[in-house]
Structure 1
């Protein structure tokens, strides 16, 4: 059985491949309700853990500690990161794996998916377009550990673009209007991609986004307004559960329609002494303007980087396609239409478009092909001018095409004579490059990799305790760095001393400041 799985910040959705159709999978809750989404939720009581549907059943039980937005944390974490929920502390990877394991079990026993427990679940997995290589690695690895068979990973806006083409290609896309902008506002992230559609071939031409902006932030704004209402006593405010209050605000936000004038937040569901709080919709929308403006600026940036002046008059644009659960907020479409006019179209299934697109991509008979690209610059700091300056060397630049399924990995090489006894490589990813190739925008620092240029240090287990200093014999050594990036955007680097015939391979991961102590390193290898 082939599936498309959109692991969301608040809700996870699954679509199946079924004889040319791509239906959403329904789940049955503990109370017997049927819903077409799976809660991305963790709950803890003492040492007891609950995930997904079981966690949802505890959301208004004060004996349980809730944690939502696990996906959002992945953008800042690493395989060594630790998350504490209640009294339970586990590696972030373990939390994610247990959640996905429960999802797999519930697909088999609490959904309408007709499949035997012995049949493999082959999945195409979604990932935010602006996800860094560390988030991509953790997501894929957790799905594998949970027992899913991975077909591949696709950026979420690209998947939504496939759903759009499957639904509208014949009516919207022409030779003159072959570009589609996918505006994807989810629970925790915002992504925008410009896609050229030629028949069933999709080429991502440019992407932008904000990794820490999504529906969660709109929920926070509504919560602040609810707590500021004078009907609430200070003592009541202090005893309200933040997580449960945010959940109430999310539900109230999702109930809005274009004619709504008041937002009702029913605090009696989480407090014995509080009742309903009414927030004027106009106040809430006014608060939302700053967040919406940020997404519009990112959309304009992506369009101008690809379409240039044509991005202003929208002549080559078929559609700005709104997807993601948070795009259902009425004021959002209104603001986008004020800026971009009639080209704005919301998906009939904004919350499910990505999952459906992933299922179509998983279908061997669908005929769709796609070409992704780097959404960030990846590189390393280096010394120049004999150590007098530090410069950024972009290894893979933003918009570099990623290899497609079955294609060879993308590679880049650097060769040089070193100057020091130990190489100290400080990797980072950034969303922009400013003047003089300086990193800018959203910056994430990765592993500070250490490699012994001096052959006498190649068996040294604690290179971090060796002072990095200029080495007179360094000019006699020839060093090569070989970078490899796969179709999922995961990067490895192999550093080798060609002269003395040894090398070491690294997976680029989280910065040392965020890693748990004692992180494992691969052993030094000699060339065979």
Structure 2
């Protein structure tokens, strides 16, 4: 008997895996109870390849051999602006392939970006098999709506290398809409506002009866939580330089510690008004004296810092609106996707732009995997009259936009909500 079809959100920063059944959707956890699996790979001196949280922890110890945030580079030429920008920002090394593509170099070996993704997918599969107690060999994997065919093929190839039969490559915004139960005959225009760790995408879906159509998508491959972290880290580095006359940005290991601390501060400020942090022995001065950093940041200060960066998201929204031929007030519903949408500032800016409260009753980190799981369950049981509905996809045409993306129609037969499925209740607010 075949195991469940996995719904996998292969994210830039974190990956999530879920399965759907008659009782609903289950987001699977690691043995330690974590639902987010960091999309990080670290090559240990022993030869072991670490993936997930163990790899993420190595960023502080071995930044040059720890690879992360490469999803945005899949399918791009080595000489492209995006890859050259990544070379400047990340501590690990890039190299050109014989065909002009991108390789990651570590400890004398090189790896394609599909191989890096395959390491992550192999870990996702391992987590799923431990959680379900059986083999998991089939999956639906999501990608941004603006991924081209080369990028989609590379993602599918990564799944095969990880031992997965990839039944479908599904657009992330379509997955998010499926998770919210759309596809039951309503006629609506929905915007998916997806602000993750490394990238931002906005997609406009038109729902007509039981058909989902991507009418416009636009994105910024260097706009996300990582970029906000960098703003904070830069301010921390300036404070350290002013106090100690030593610039930690010249030490890759020290700067990775700053970035990790910046991420923690940013997350805390979604629930708190102010944070204080201390990093001991960030660097060493004359005579081996340890140099520590004490740094405070308020939510107001973070928002002032992040607002110009986040304003770029709404320039991207304007691109999508122009392609779709609509205005923000003509959007019926806005769905938030991606962990960075937890920032109170993001909520306010989205509400101001669209003129309505965005929908975030499903955890924005988990919603895409849940929709992919619904698609996977429907594909697996379509001949058995799935209670969650049967979903079929077909490629239609190309849309002229920046960047170009394929239109996708999704036909849903049956109403997921009528089958007893309903989106989970909103997560409890973080503790103050």
Aligned length: 367
Report deviation, 1:89: 3.0
Match of 1:188 in 2: 198
Higher helix residue share: 2
Match of 2:129 in 1: 108
- 1:2 has 2:5 as partner: yes
Deviations 1:114-152 (CA, angstroms, capped at 9, x unpaired)? 232xx3421110101122332212111011111011110
Match of 1:294 in 2: 312
Structure 1 contact 264–278 (Cα < 8 Å) conserved: yes
Alpha-carbon distance change, 377 to 180 in structure 1, aligned in 2, over 3 angstroms:
closer
Whole-Å separation in 2 of the counterparts to 1:160 and 1:331:
22
Structure 1 contact 371–401 (Cα < 8 Å) conserved: no
Report deviation, 1:162: 1.2
Structure 2 contact 212–410 (Cα < 8 Å) conserved: no
- 1:337 has 2:351 as partner: yes
- 1:322 has 2:331 as partner: no
Alpha-carbon distance change, 371 to 63 in structure 1, aligned in 2, over 3 angstroms:
closer
Alpha-carbon distance change, 341 to 287 in structure 1, aligned in 2, over 3 angstroms:
same
Match of 2:286 in 1: none
Match of 1:261 in 2: 273
Alpha-carbon distance change, 400 to 54 in structure 1, aligned in 2, over 3 angstroms:
closer
TM-score, normalized by length of structure 1?
0.62
Report deviation, 1:374: 6.1
Whole-Å separation in 1 of the counterparts to 2:260 and 2:325:
40
1:235 match: secondary structure: coil
2:132 match: secondary structure: coil
Unpaired segments of 5 or more residues in structure 1? 379-396, 406-528
Structure 1 contact 163–357 (Cα < 8 Å) conserved: yes
Report deviation, 1:186: 1.4
Match of 1:216 in 2: 226
Structure 2 contact 211–410 (Cα < 8 Å) conserved: no
Deviations 1:381-426 (CA, angstroms, capped at 9, x unpaired)? xxxxxxxxxxxxxxxx956645879xxxxxxxxxxxxxxxxxxxxx
Match of 2:170 in 1: 154
Match of 1:356 in 2: 370
159, 171, 179: which one pairs with 1:143? 159
- 1:249 has 2:249 as partner: no
Q: 74-83 or 99-108, which moves further after superposition?
A: 74-83
Structure 1 contact 47–87 (Cα < 8 Å) conserved: no
Whole-Å separation in 2 of the counterparts to 1:305 and 1:295:
16
2:180 match: secondary structure: helix
Whole-Å separation in 1 of the counterparts to 2:129 and 2:291:
41
What are the within-5 Å matches in structure 2 for residues 167-178 of structure 1?
Answer: 175=187, 178=188
TM-score, normalized by length of structure 2?
0.75
Unpaired segments of 5 or more residues in structure 2? 79-96, 284-289, 379-385, 412-432
Match of 2:91 in 1: none
266, 278, 289: which one pairs with 2:296? 278
Structure 1 contact 204–372 (Cα < 8 Å) conserved: no
- The structure number with the bigger radius of gyration is 1
Report deviation, 1:99: 3.0
Deviations 1:468-487 (CA, angstroms, capped at 9, x unpaired)? xxxxxxxxxxxxxxxxxxxx
Structure 1 contact 202–371 (Cα < 8 Å) conserved: no
Alpha-carbon distance change, 293 to 75 in structure 1, aligned in 2, over 3 angstroms:
farther
Deviations 1:269-288 (CA, angstroms, capped at 9, x unpaired)? 96664243212333322222
2:146 match: secondary structure: coil
1:26 match: secondary structure: coil
What are the within-5 Å matches in structure 2 for residues 429-448 of structure 1?
Answer: none
Whole-Å separation in 1 of the counterparts to 2:143 and 2:348:
27
Report deviation, 1:90: 2.8
Deviations 1:157-185 (CA, angstroms, capped at 9, x unpaired)? 1111111235xx88xx955xx11111111
Match of 1:207 in 2: 217
Deviations 1:37-96 (CA, angstroms, capped at 9, x unpaired)? 111112233362322243245454459842221223325358852212355433333333
Structure 2 contact 16–36 (Cα < 8 Å) conserved: yes
Deviations 1:204-236 (CA, angstroms, capped at 9, x unpaired)? 222111223222111111111221225752436
258, 281, 303: which one pairs with 2:321? 303
Match of 2:104 in 1: 83
What are the within-5 Å matches in structure 2 for residues 471-490 of structure 1?
Answer: none
Report deviation, 1:252: 2.0
Match of 1:95 in 2: 116
Structure 1 contact 47–88 (Cα < 8 Å) conserved: no
RMSD after superposition? 3.1
Structure 1 contact 15–22 (Cα < 8 Å) conserved: yes
2:104 match: secondary structure: strand
